[in-house]
Structure 1
Amino acid sequence: MRWVALVVGLAIITAVGIVVNMQRQDAGAARDAAATASRTPTPAASFTDPCGTFDTTVRTPYPITGYWIIPTADPCTWRSQFQAIHRVGGDTVIRLGHGLSPRRVDDETGLVLDAAGDKPDPRYAKCVEGELTCVQAAEKALKDAHPDNRITWTYVFRTDEQYGDGVFRCPDIERKIVVGDAVFFRIIAPDDGTDDASCDFSSRGRGYHLILVSAGKEDSLTTLLDLGDRFGIRVFPALPLAPRDPTGPTRANPRHIGTLTTLTRRILQDYGDRFAGRESLGGVYQPFELQIRDWPDPSKVDTLKVLAEQHLIVEQELAGKPILISPYLDARRDRKFTSTPKQVGKGFKVLARTGVGIIAPQDGRGTGKGGLFWPNWKNKPVDERLRPVVGDTTYAKAYYGGTRDYYREMAQARDELLKEGVRVELWANIEAFEPTRREGEKRCSSQSDRGATDKPRLDTQVTLVGPYVSKIISYMWSDYFTCGSPSLAEQIAQDWTRPIAIQAFRSRRDIQNGLEIRGYNLAGATVTLSWPGVDEPRVVDSTVAGVHETDPVPGLPERVERLWIPFDLDEVPDGRWVRVGVTAPDGRIAAEPVYYQHTT
């Protein structure tokens, strides 16, 4: 069996630490791309194709405007997904990605083995050229050019996309291979990670890496971008996922940086050739999931090195398109290597300097890594759905802080970075599931045993991340928004006009003191104010005494509204938390109140 180690890999790792530091000095141009990505295509009202007639209007807009979707082989399913996502106000779709994988090859048969190295991988066993496997054919082509040429490592990569000629640097030896209904791409590059453009295979013998890509029969990305144009949706395809460190699967393996950047460069060059100027290509998604934390010495964190090198390729090859990354938060006190809000704020700055334009941290509620609570709630028992993760305890004992505390610190870090000339957007990825299923509950996802949640829980998540982010996205549409009866999507359609408050603060208009409330669906609302020690809640009808404004608020999602009500806060004792409840004209109450801490 062939399993030749890449000796020069260690040298590459050392160089990366130096190069990354130099190349990250001025990353402002990459962050400016995030603003470019905010433009969405303008769709027609409807369209008809062989899959049917599809309505492209927004009917029940909700604060979540972006969703992950699972790849599907049925293009009609994509159309239905885009229609459903756009109906609830979605304008962004993010693709899940696949990993670049180093593989062993059986010396006798020339077959690529599975990830465990135990038996031939049936997906790549189909790849043949005449009487030879694709690995054997690639090695023969190299040796025909020079007898000392050799393949030192074989990699595989799976995708449902199909590339154009832009993916090839040396078309004399690289090629597209079609075997029946299976499509493969053979990509070859020097094993020193240089991706030499000279295509000189004959002057001397060298070691090469073979990247064997299993592709789609048709190009899924073209289909998705065409749908994006029709529905007014931006698509974020995934970058190749970095190989994981075998000693710690949460870490990227720096040994494969050269091959990862080669594949990334080739794919993005092809994107540039085929999709330049497409508004529906919103950017690219970095699928490697990592925890955002305060790294003591970021220069020694291999995963950050690997991501920074990959992100540099995006800056070079796909200028004007941002990189979206969605790290996870872990606020649990009883686990090692978790983080306080302050530590996460520091980690946000480090991650921004790897070249990303958009950071959309997972809020942690779906996994139980984070809790939805206000500072004045910290001594309350945790929600029952969190108990399987943190036990029967209080929020203060379970978590270092609430969701809102973490996003506030990251928003502050974002603003501090802007003063340094580093532009990065802060989005929120709210998890649309529960840590576990209830007894007897139907399983929503074949890939996870998470439970289904409901719209009130989503409303609460929106409230708690609300004033600190410019956009809210969610993992994920496929399964979690379409599971159950009624599904989350159906619950949103039935209840989309319910008010959702996200912030309240003291505000003065002319000579009157009052409160400004920000949120969604606030027109005509009645506001109820209460605090510890007050005998009767204060009720203000905003249609009688109030000002409602819908002009966009800089830095917040575009549908955020403002409602000002007069109120004499002098009657509130200093330091008290004021509970601000919002009720719609038809009597529906916001799922979550907001709290304002009064200080004189």
Structure 2
Amino acid sequence: MASPVRTSARYAGAMVAAALLLGLAACDPTPDPTGGPESSATAPAATGPAPAPSPDPAPTCPGGVALDRPDRAVSTAYAVTGWFVLTSPDRCATRATVQGAHAIGADTLVTFGAPLVPASPADLRPGGDDDRFSGFTVDGEDGYDHAVARTGGGKVRHVYTYAAKATFDDATLFCPGRDGRSTTAQGTFTWWLLPVEGGYSECDSPSRRYDLVVASSPTTDADTLLIDDAERFGVAVFLGLPKPAPDPRTPYVADGSYTQTLGGFTSRVLAGWDARHGQRSAFAGVYQSLETAVFTDEATWAPNLRVYELQHRIVGFRLPRDKQRVLVSPYADLRRGATPVSAVRPALQRIADTAAGTRMVLAPQDGGGTGRVGAFRPGERDRRVRADLRAVVGDTK
């Protein structure tokens, strides 16, 4: 049975399409008293050193900001109470972000997930195009060759890379021998061999074919710094899910050729978040980083909906009940001749149907960031679009 379009009083509201703004109201400010944390699958012990813990805070930051004495004053309480933020492994930068947002009335911070990007063995070796991955080795051995040797006589089908601002601890390493961590002069790498047959936590591939995922990480976990400070200021955080790369033919739609591999990787990421943040009051849920439009042609957007259905199901499987919130921010092209207003409700209903038992928060974007839904006063309805906007909005009224 189709679920009704979800509405919220707390985390739902209007998206402000400037790159960092998200308008949110409030829906469920306290954890569900009936849904205590549910344990996720226990990860096997992993080899290799654990990521370095966050360093002890320096007494002050540039400008004399004392990390141990946060300024919780609200100077101006704006109607927009939620913000997209970029995380940083720098404690002072994180404090400036959280304290600055709180000072203007923020109660919610949202991060974007990085894309899981198709790559090649050459990208992992010296001379590769991305220096974040071109130094991947394991105990001095070529990292790709090491992974192939761990397939048990099988093969690596595809390679994917993930440039993270967070670290991956042992809870993300489900499969001893096929998952691991390597710290080199070039940085810290975490790698997984995911069976091509898919699944949330399988280790063995009946066909002995695997997809290799390699993540590069800083030494300090930026997500933890953000959540630490969010708790000091009483602010909720939605962490961004990993997302697929766009389809080169239709850049606003996901590359659907590796959705199952994305799901296996998402399962590992969420297991790590559960271990680190599952008991943290500031961790409110996840943000669906793959933003999608409201639509009339579901077939075109089907790859996005498949990602939604898979990732939201994994959220329900991996996170405690009180953290199973998925913030989704659809947008619309409502210019004349584009998506009719009558299509909005059924499209939102279809998006809501991907909730898979999680509590979905719909936060529609206002469209200003794409130039597709301009704001105008009633008296400007019949005026021609400004000349400097016609290349984006179209030459229309």
Q: TM-score, normalised by structure 2?
A: 0.78
Deviations 1:289-326 (A, max 9, x none): 2221233568x822211221111111211233311122
How far residue 239 of structure 1 moved from its aligned partner, in angstroms, is 0.4
1:122 maps to amino acid:
D
Asked if residue 327 in structure 1 is aligned to residue 327 in structure 2, the reply is no
Which residues in structure 2 correspond to 1:51-70 (within 5 Å)? Answer: 51=61, 52-53=65-66, 54-70=70-86
Q: Is residue 286–residue 324 contact of structure 1 (8 Å, CA) maintained in 2?
A: yes
**1:36 to partner: Cα distance:** 7.2
**Cα distance change on mapping 1:249 and 1:367 into 2, 3 Å:** closer
CA distance in 1, matches of 2:160, 2:279: 32
2:353 partner amino acid = R
Q: What is the match of residue 371 of structure 1?
A: 374
- Give the AA of the match of 2:243: L
Superposed counterparts of 1:69-468, under 5 Å:
69-106=85-122, 111-112=123-124, 119-142=128-151, 146-147=152-153, 149-180=154-185, 182-195=187-200, 197=202, 199-200=203-204, 206-295=208-297, 301-318=302-319, 319-320=321-322, 321-333=324-336, 338-355=338-355, 357-373=360-376, 378-382=381-385, 386-387=389-390, 389-390=392-393, 397=397
Does the 8 A contact of 1:295 with 1:347 survive in 2?
no
- Residue identity in the other structure for 2:328: I
Over 3 Å counting, the alpha-carbon distance change for 1:82 and 1:72 in structure 2 is same
Q: Give the partner amino acid of 1:80.
A: A
Once residues 175 and 145 of structure 2 are traced to their aligned partners in structure 1, the CA distance between those partners, rounded to angstroms, is: 18
Q: After superposition, give the CA deviation of every residue in 1:321-348 in whole Å (9 maximum; x if it has no partner).
A: 31112222212226xxx21221112211
CA change 1:49–1:226 in 2 (3 A) is: farther
Q: 1:267: how far off?
A: 0.8
Q: Deviations over 1:499-521 (max 9, x none)?
A: xxxxxxxxxxxxxxxxxxxxxxx
Cα RMSD, aligned residues only: 3.2
Q: Is the 8 A contact 2:112 2:241 kept in 1?
A: no
The amino acid of 2:76's aligned partner reads T
The alpha-carbon distance between structure 1 residues 213 and 63, as it changes in their structure 2 partners (threshold 3 A), is same
CA–CA separation in structure 2 for the residues paired with 1:36 and 1:375: 31
In structure 2, how many angstroms separate the alpha carbons of the residues matched to 1:389 and 1:313?
37
Q: State the 1:170 CA deviation.
A: 1.0
Instruction: Give identity over the alignment, percent.
Output: 29
Shift of 1:249: 1.9
SS class of match (1:255)? helix
Deviation at 1:59, TM superposition (A): 2.1
Number of residue-to-residue matches in the alignment: 347
1:39-82 CA-partner distances (Å, limit 9, x unpaired) = 49xxxxxx994433231122210100011122334321111111
Structure showing greater radius of gyration is 1
Question: Does the aligned pair in 2 maintain the 1:30–1:315 contact within 8 Å?
Answer: no
Code of the aligned partner of 1:157: Y
The amino acid that maps onto 1:63 is A
Q: Distance in 1 between matches of 2:112 and 2:299?
A: 30
Deviating beyond 4 angstroms after TM superposition, the runs of 4 or more aligned structure 1 residues are 24-37, 374-377, 380-388
- Deviation of the 1:96 alpha carbon: 2.1
Q: Which has the higher contact order (CA 8 A, sep 6+)?
A: 2
Instruction: Give the aligned residue type for 2:241.
Output: L
Displacement of 1:368 in angstroms is: 2.2
Distance in 2, Cα, partners of 1:33 & 1:269: 26
